[in-house]
Each structure stands twice: as C-alpha cells, then as structure tokens.
Amino acid sequence: MLQGTGAAQGKYAQMLFNELFEDYSNALRPVEDTDMVLNVTLQITLSQIKDMDERNQILTVYLWIRQTWYDAYLKWDKDRYDGLDSIRIPSNLVWRPDIVLYNKYDGKITWDAPAITKSSCVVDVSYFPFDSQQCNLTFGSWTYNGNQVDIFTTLDSGDLSDFIEDVEWEIHGMPAVKNIITYGCCSEPYPDVTFTLILKRKSSFYIFNLLLPCLLISFLAPLGFYLPADSGEKVSLGVTVLLSLTVFQLMVAESMPPSDNPVPQWARVIILDYMSKIFFVYDVGENCTSLQCVKEQDAESPPAHPSPTEHGGYEERKKALPKGDGKDEDPPKKLMDGENKANGLRIRDPEGCCSCYRALIQNIEYIADCVRRHKANHAKG
C-alpha cells in the first residue's frame, strides 16, 4: 500500500488517479532504469502463536508483514492537486498487490498485510518440559535477485508490542539478520531477512500433570519390599506401577516428534534406568525368598517317616539297612534324602516354582501387545 499523511477528496483524487494509472503496468518492476536496484524494507509484527506442532515440527503464527519501497511511476506534485498527498486504491492495480494501499506523493509504498504463516521448526525435546526452541522465519524475493530487488530491515528485531500472550510458550526475543546467499546454479546474490523466534516452554502444566504423578508412582515401587514374600499384592503392586508409568510414557510419546533422540532426560532416568533396577531387585528378591516359602510350606505338614536322627548316627543307620543285590540306590544318597525331608528341605516342583511368575508374565505380555497395537495404529494414521 502507498502511505501518506492526508486524505483523498473530490475531483482532485479522481484526476490524480486517472493520470497515474493511464499508462501504469503492475507486471513490471517500478524503476526508471532496469539496472537500478529496488530497495524493500521488511518488518514483521508478531500477533499470536496459533499452533506449535511438535510432532510434525511446524510453527503457525499470526503476523503483520510490512514492506516499504518507492515506486518510480507513482509520484506527483501535490501542489497541482490542491495539496493532495495520498489516495487509497484497490491493491490489484499496483506492483506487488495487497488488500489496502496508501499512496504517497513521493512514490513511497507501504504494504501492510495480515498473514498466517506456517514454517518448519526443528524441535529438540531432550529437556522437555524445560526446553527452549528457536524457529526461523525467512523472507526473500522469489523471482528477483539481489541486483534487482534488495531486502533489508530497519530494526534489529521483530516487533513484539502487539503480541498476545500464549498459554504454553514465552517469547524471549525475535532478532533479525540479513543474509546474502549465492546458489550454485546462479552467479547473482539472493538476499533474505531471517527472524529467529526464541521460545521458552511454560513448564508448570507439565510439572503438575506429568512429572509429579510419575514421581509419586515411582515412589510406590520400593513399598513392595515391605509386603510379605508370599503375598500376592507384592506382584500386583509392581505390575500396577509398571502399567501406570507406561501410560504416562505413551502420553509423552504421542506429542514428541519421531526423531533420533525424542526421549526427555527425566523420562530416561525414571522409566528406563529406574524401572530396570526395580525389576532386577524384584527378580532377586523372589528367588531368594522362594526357598524360604517352600520350607514354611513343608513345615506345616508332618513328615511321612520318622526322622533318622532320632535313631542314632549315620553308622547305625547304615548297619540297619537291608542288604541288596547291588541294584538299590546308594545308601548314603537315600539317607541324605531322608534327612533333608525330615529337616523340611526338598526340591521344588518346577510348576510350583513358576506359578508365582505367571501373573507377572501375563501382564507383561498384555503391555507388549498394547504397545504393538498403538504403534500399528499410529503408523496407519
């Protein structure tokens, strides 16, 4: 748009419009000499962050884009038109059309346009939810090189005075840098202006709804060691803790981008390292208490035969054994087996040894099936 200080009135505005656009073409660059460079000033005003798609790494923002340049064919002497220094015209009549244009008598054109931009933004969630992100907004000419249209900015940062505060992100700055790029295909330079949007995540929501529940659930795991070894609630508590942490991990994974390093540091410590140690200790504890459980069960039932220790020592028992033909078992082995039975020690049945793990194995298989179905549904979607 062409910007001015006054208002267009009456017949002078009509006369000026007819004279300016009688031979004007909006298809050509508005310079008197084709070798001249047309300087364009670019400035953006950030209004609102519409969306930060972390999974697809797309930033959507509301912007006001202001571009200013001088049109060599839209100049006039304001004294000839009763001091008229600006007019408003349809945007499709001038070069680089826009919605509304303000035309100034010295040929200065200001193009203010609201825009919704979608730009790529590489997201690093290693320190989620205490992370900071930097997203670049790069503006440049699509058809003109630096010898035809040069782009620069009058300020060293974007305008944040009209920014509407976002519920999830804080704005810590928007510096602007001009770059001149030369591509391998062309010898001409191509300038652009890059605005870097520095974002800081507000972590209070994730602290109270994600971190604290995970920590409290993790603290429940050591309480299982205070339960009796033969109690079924011990295994149930461990499986419940695992299921709860798995649910929270799936919630985090749904919002994280599928990158090489998508897992936050705290999730690695709590879910991977901490849970692996808990299961290791559970396994060791169950193995150590299994013999004690069998001993207590055997102690409750009376022995089928009287204890050999009540009738003397090993030599006396050996003399009392009947003579065989050499096919019987070794007498010391039979005596040791009998003594072990009398003392309440016997070899556990393999089925009984594994029965205490069946519920745990079934729950783990259920979790694995849920994770596989979740990945399959996500791949289809």
What's residue 177's pLDDT? 92
> What is the homologous superfamily of the domain 10-201 according to CATH?
Neurotransmitter-gated ion-channel ligand-binding domain (2.70.170.10)
Of 70, 68, 84, 67, the C-alpha closest to 19 is: 84
Give CA angle at 67 (64, 70), nearest 5°: 155
In this prediction, residue 172 carries a pLDDT of 92
Residue ranges per structural domain of the chain = 10-201, 205-288
Name the helix (H) or strand (E) containing 348: none
Cα 159 from Cα 203, distance rounded (Å): 25
Per-residue pLDDT at 262: 57
Residue among 193, 245, 198 nearest 219 (CA): 245
Per-residue pLDDT of the chain (381 residues; tens, 9 = 90+): 454 434 446 688 888 888 888 888 888 888 888 888 888 888 888 888 888 887 788 888 888 888 888 888 888 888 888 888 877 777 778 886 443 333 445 677 777 778 888 888 888 887 888 889 999 888 888 778 888 888 888 888 988 988 988 888 999 999 999 999 888 877 889 888 899 999 999 988 888 888 888 888 878 777 777 777 777 777 788 788 878 888 887 877 776 766 655 566 666 665 665 556 556 555 555 555 554 455 455 555 555 445 444 444 445 544 554 554 444 444 444 444 444 444 444 444 444 445 556 666 776 777 778 777 877 877 776
Entry pTM: 0.59
Euclidean distance between CA atoms 206 and 212, whole angstroms: 9
pLDDT score, position 174: 93
E strands, the chain, are: 38-53, 58-70, 86-90, 100-104, 108-120, 132-140, 149-152, 169-173, 176-182, 189-201
